[in-house]
Structure 1
């Protein structure tokens, strides 16, 4: 590829619509659409309505829909007669901002900082919606395919009502190709197509040893307290090298690319002398092996803590499941492990939270080739990388079950320094521009494949 790719008519049209699309994205970031918080229920609806309005302004007919949960948006615009339908997915809900003091600017105020746009949802995944808007707008009145857009309002809580929404609106959502703009690129300046994702299982583990707290001086040394017992149980989940110690969980290898260790350390922000955990290639640890993380702990706070033995302690753990595993199998393995390693005869209660299946996503050869070509065109000749993703997209399993003949493509709007779910989440502006151009190219290429009779089914599992 040569630099002339960047000055193609389609590239020029993307550049022309980009200022408005970025302004619209900034407006969406200002809406704190935190789906996990009842206090933000009205904000999630406001975000859905704003998303629908933006899609309407791009020439799609849009409707805010819900089937018992937070509102989503379905929009559609017909292409030429006989053209295939492409379903473009993104989500408008976001993670909580956490401690505002850890942000360098207000989390729900889009802020330009160098070559990045900072704010909660600026990348994950209101940028996905913005990519879809830019791709449609760049084609003007000559959209080469029919386009349906689904903007989920519950992805950050596991899309609990998405299956019902797909069932209710199945005819409106049916498509030959599904494009999910909610993954990560390999590096800034290097695009990626995601071909596998880990699943997730969340559990709340509660340990009880007493029917009431006790004075630590009077009873300590003979009575097991719940917090110490919980900590010992959680410590059993990992081997000394940090790899997962739970028997029965599926794990594998086979990643075709590896992570340079120094780049990995820089991307992750590892402190000096802190070593990676686990064994095998770094990419296998991130994509093809399970992980277990303690994401929350209910225990007395350090400030104001009394000298007492705790009667009850709780932890929330998140298990990322390797491709080939499933939540039910993993839950059974975790329960067996916890019960075996729980000391002192303590009482254990485990409550299951959100879960989602892992996925291998392999589109038919011609569709995959079109996606890779679109990425390479948009990144001015830089070859894209096919990667796995350690994160989870619950919807892939749902889409595959509902539309087994549809080809599924997972594209990226993030990069390793996006810091999704954390403070100072940000979007790399040049890569965002390229993602918009890549999707515009993809719509054109898919129309050509349809004309050649080369659109086929998916191998997503």
Structure 2
């Protein structure tokens, strides 16, 4: 039966490629300042039609509180069978520097055995994975299904997070496949069990009533940009590790590791440049807070004047591991920045949203079914991986469905370069993970009957 299912999925791969090409061609960036919102609507309608054709019922668009549209639908369970919720998102990151792409970002292009295009992996590749698994099963889907395909995940505006609680009854399931992650590497079957939370702040430094001529006033006049640089520099220790007062930055990771050489290659670290921080790569990536300066407002080099800057500001992001409360980490970050401000400069801090970290429970029947499916497809047991990124929706799901098992999996392995130019997906991962998903649905249905 497994061989028959694998054969069906292999036959469906040309259709999977055609579907992904259609989806990638829709620039569904959920930011109306950059892209027309009708593009997201078009992507949502495409997704709704595809899942309706794949056998789900009442597939339709639901407007969420941030104005984006989620695609929802369902398929009733056979008698005595459990229900599984399938999640993914159709919105994508902007392409960033178009000149850095080796092929057009919104045109699926095959190169060196991979399929390139914005969203090819994150997360339109996972949409195609779901569709391929359901098409392979056909009328033989052995469980009930709920579908939620989000439309603003990349923007982090929280539309679906607000939508889920009042609609928990409609979305209730026994297991949730959150397909917005992937394997540790191509061919290494993996479930992500740990996600860092995230919190951002915007810090503004004021030192003068206005920019002043550096020849006449430079020296004694306090430089707001120099003050901000000192404050930001204080967030790291001598080897570049995150250092924030009253925040534990010494955690360790006990799951599968991350080879340093492989990490350097995956992250594109230049030759001769050292990694920052101490401990293992996995410690630093999945078990400890990590601070990043996302942007700075200051005079640009081109057109800059001979003046002492009166103000400067920066947007600072802090990723926090499970075991650390995101809001408490945000307050520690703010207190540290305020305490580090030199020369009595004025400091204003704007708090942005905070997403909690997440840790999955892996001892239930859904994980047992997933391990069995992965062994059959990949010939290896399941590995557990942490992820440095954040999916705040997982905590919303955990609160709404406390008895459900939450599984994070998908097609996004490190070579995909999600969020970066030249994003790609390995078509073999789509094929194999669709096979895993189809087998998982079968095994999970059987576990409910035994």
Pairwise same-fold verdict (TM > 0.5): yes
| 3-state DSSP of counterpart to 1:139 | helix
Q: Are positions 1:210 and 2:205 aligned together?
A: no
Alignment partner, residue 58 of structure 1: 54
Alignment partner, residue 456 of structure 1: none
Match of 1:68 among 59, 65, 68: 65
Alignment partner, residue 459 of structure 1: none
CA contact (8 A) 2:86 2:148 kept: yes
Match of 2:18 among 18, 23, 29: 23
Alignment partner, residue 440 of structure 1: 438
Alignment of 1:225-374 (within 5 A): 225-251=223-249, 252-374=251-373
Listed one character per residue, the Cα deviations across residues 19-45 of structure 1 (whole Å, up to 9, x for unaligned) are 212211221111111124434322222
CA contact (8 A) 2:320 2:326 kept: yes
TM superposition shift of 1:217: 1.6
User: Quick one: structure 1 residues 341 and 280, their matched pair in 2 at CA, closer, same or farther if it must change by over 3 Å?
Assistant: same
TM superposition shift of 1:105: 1.3
| 3-state DSSP of counterpart to 1:383 | coil
CA contact (8 A) 2:327 2:354 kept: no
CA contact (8 A) 1:158 1:355 kept: no
CA contact (8 A) 1:239 1:245 kept: yes
C-alpha separation between the residues in 1 aligned to 2:223 and 2:430?
51
Q: Are positions 1:451 and 2:449 aligned together?
A: yes
TM superposition shift of 1:159: 4.9
| 3-state DSSP of counterpart to 2:164 | helix
C-alpha separation between the residues in 2 aligned to 1:267 and 1:48?
31
Alignment partner, residue 9 of structure 2: 14
Alignment partner, residue 47 of structure 1: 43
C-alpha separation between the residues in 2 aligned to 1:433 and 1:67?
32
User: Quick one: structure 1 residues 363 and 385, their matched pair in 2 at CA, closer, same or farther if it must change by over 3 Å?
Assistant: closer
Matched residues, number:
446
User: Quick one: structure 1 residues 85 and 262, their matched pair in 2 at CA, closer, same or farther if it must change by over 3 Å?
Assistant: same
C-alpha separation between the residues in 2 aligned to 1:131 and 1:237?
41
Structure 2: unaligned runs, 5 residues or longer: none
CA contact (8 A) 2:200 2:330 kept: no
| 3-state DSSP of counterpart to 1:155 | coil
Give TM-score, length-normalised by structure 1: 0.93
Runs of 4+ in structure 1 displaced over 6 angstroms?
Answer: none
Structure 1: unaligned runs, 5 residues or longer: 453-461
CA contact (8 A) 1:193 1:372 kept: no
CA contact (8 A) 1:159 1:395 kept: no
CA contact (8 A) 1:323 1:359 kept: yes
C-alpha separation between the residues in 1 aligned to 2:141 and 2:238?
56
CA contact (8 A) 1:36 1:156 kept: no
TM superposition shift of 1:383: 3.2
TM superposition shift of 1:185: 1.1
Alignment partner, residue 383 of structure 2: 385
Alignment partner, residue 426 of structure 1: 424
CA contact (8 A) 1:107 1:120 kept: yes
175-184 vs 43-52, which moves further: 43-52
Listed one character per residue, the Cα deviations across residues 238-289 of structure 1 (whole Å, up to 9, x for unaligned) are 0011111102224421323322222222222211111111111111111101
C-alpha separation between the residues in 2 aligned to 1:167 and 1:257?
33
| 3-state DSSP of counterpart to 1:157 | coil
Give TM-score, length-normalised by structure 2: 0.96
| 3-state DSSP of counterpart to 2:303 | coil
C-alpha separation between the residues in 2 aligned to 1:249 and 1:443?
42
TM superposition shift of 1:195: 1.0
Alignment partner, residue 458 of structure 1: none
CA contact (8 A) 1:136 1:440 kept: yes
Match of 2:92 among 91, 94, 100: 94
Match of 1:105 among 103, 107, 110: 103
C-alpha separation between the residues in 1 aligned to 2:347 and 2:155?
25
TM superposition shift of 1:366: 2.7
